[in-house]
Amino acid sequence: MEHNYPIKRIIDDKGFFVDADYEERIDEKLVKELYYHMVRIRTFDRKAINLQRQGRLGTYAPFEGQEAAQVGSALALNDNDWVFPTYRDHGATLTFGKSMATTFLYWNGRMEGCLTPAVRQIFPPAVPIATQIPHAAGAAWAEKKRGTKNAAIAYFGDGATSEGDFHEGLNFASVFKVPVVFFNQNNGYAISVPIEKQMNSKTIAQKSVAYGMPGIRVDGNDCFAVYFETKKAFDHARSGNGPTLIEAVTWRKGAHTTADDPSKYRTEERAKDFVDPLIRLELFMKNYGYWDDAWNEDIKEKTSREVEAAVEEMEKFPPPNVEDVFDHVYAEMPAQLAKQKEAYLAHLGRK
């Protein structure tokens, strides 16, 4: 099946065009916008890891290596579209308009971290695997019934394709031809399980056949390929033609979370097949005359200042109230949960 779903690329690992059809479609504005957002979210990601190691942030899910997939897809959205992220797609939500301070608050255990700007429709991060996929299909169906041109994107990892929610969401979206893009970031591992041990399919894109929708494989480290293929999928959806499944083949450099040790189950041999997406874009910019040292230093300083200001804002908040864990689960707290709350408060000496 792999030959039926070739990996689409626009630039190669050394930053040269491999698809001449896009030479006229890529301009300085797009190049610098992609690069700026990729630098911005990587700066955030590295800072978040440092904060977690210092005890200033809770367990954190890093995404370094997946910047092209997240930025390229997020920049293809319209302002009124819906985003349904996993716990690892804060790079995409930051690109789409969520604030850094709010994102830090999420990883610091505060409910405020789930809030989004009034002008953006971003669902809270889904920690249960694949549960956001039917939600995205439902939101897209609602937009279709309202007669808008708004669409939705559902982000998920390769492990999510083994969940029932994945199949239910794709089936529903296909039957009702709703405007949604299912965006998979395939980094080869569902936590510690390699992809060949959790599915017999050679690709994730081929799973689209069962649901009668287009399936695309794209180089997830090629920001241009991700951007244009996602844009194409959204055009398809907005035209009333229904969903598309995109498989972005990528590689995450770090651990599944800061509580994980990938050296226990993963070798770096496979990583040799992937060139850092930022390095690849830098090479492209230098090859085609877009690189500017002064501009590059300026955006690095700008993003560093933004991150530090967001950390300062996050740390002004008081510690989260442990009672929130109990008080905001049910409209009326059941007896069992009330008993757990009482016991925990007693443990804290607050009974």
Q: Is 154 exposed, middle or buried (0-12, 13-18, 19+ CB in 10 A)?
A: buried
CA 282 to chain centre: 22
Residues 71 and 99 reside in one and the same domain: yes
Residues with Cβ within 8 Å of 297's Cβ and at least 6 positions away in sequence, in order, are none
Domain enclosing residue 341, as ranges = 321-351
Given the residues 40, 90, 217, 256, the one annotated as active site: 256
Our answer to whether residue 22 is catalytic in this structure is no
Strand partners, 216: 246
Per-residue pLDDT of the chain (351 residues; tens, 9 = 90+): 778 899 999 999 999 999 999 999 999 999 999 999 999 999 999 999 999 999 999 999 999 999 999 999 999 999 999 999 999 999 999 999 999 999 999 999 898 999 988 899 999 999 999 999 999 999 999 999 999 999 999 999 999 999 999 999 999 999 999 999 999 999 999 999 999 999 999 999 999 999 999 999 999 999 999 999 999 999 999 999 999 999 999 999 999 999 999 999 998 787 888 899 999 999 999 999 999 999 999 999 999 999 999 999 999 998 888 888 899 889 999 999 999 999 999 998 876
| 95-142 pLDDT, tens digit each | 999 999 999 999 998 989 999 888 999 999 999 999 999 999 999 999
Task: Note the pLDDT of residue 351.
Answer: 62
Q: CA 71 to CA 348: how far, in whole Å?
A: 43
Residues 23 and 92 reside in one and the same domain: yes
Residues 161 and 205 reside in one and the same domain: yes
Q: What is the DSSP string of 174-222?
A: HHTT-SEEEEEEE-SEETTEEHHHH---S-SGGGGGGGTS-EEEEETT-
Residues 183 and 332 reside in one and the same domain: no
Our answer to whether residue 236 is catalytic in this structure is no
Task: Note the pLDDT of residue 328.
Answer: 85
Residues 54 and 96 reside in one and the same domain: yes
Given the residues 25, 53, 265, 328, the one annotated as active site: 265
Task: Note the pLDDT of residue 321.
Answer: 83
CA 324 to chain centre: 27
Residues 87 and 140 reside in one and the same domain: yes
Counted domains in the chain: 2
Residues 200 and 122 reside in one and the same domain: yes
Q: Is 315 exposed, middle or buried (0-12, 13-18, 19+ CB in 10 A)?
A: middle
| DSSP H or E run through 344 | helix 335-347
| DSSP H or E run through 157 | strand 152-157
Task: Note the pLDDT of residue 289.
Answer: 97
Task: Note the pLDDT of residue 244.
Answer: 98
Given the residues 217, 252, 266, 280, the one annotated as active site: 252
Residues 288 and 348 reside in one and the same domain: no
Residues 156 and 254 reside in one and the same domain: yes
Q: CA 33 to CA 290: how far, in whole Å?
A: 12
Q: What is the mean pLDDT of the chain?
A: 95
Cβ pair 274, 20 in contact under 8 A: no
Our answer to whether residue 350 is catalytic in this structure is no
| 319-333 pLDDT, tens digit each | 888 888 899 889 999
Residues 263 and 149 reside in one and the same domain: yes
- Residue whose pair of structure tokens reads 């971003």 in the numeric block: 122
CATH number at residue 265: 3.40.50.970
Residues 153 and 47 reside in one and the same domain: yes
Residues 161 and 176 reside in one and the same domain: yes
Give the C-alpha distances (Å, rounded to integers) separating 33 from 59, 74, 121, 153, 249.
Answer: 30, 12, 21, 20, 22
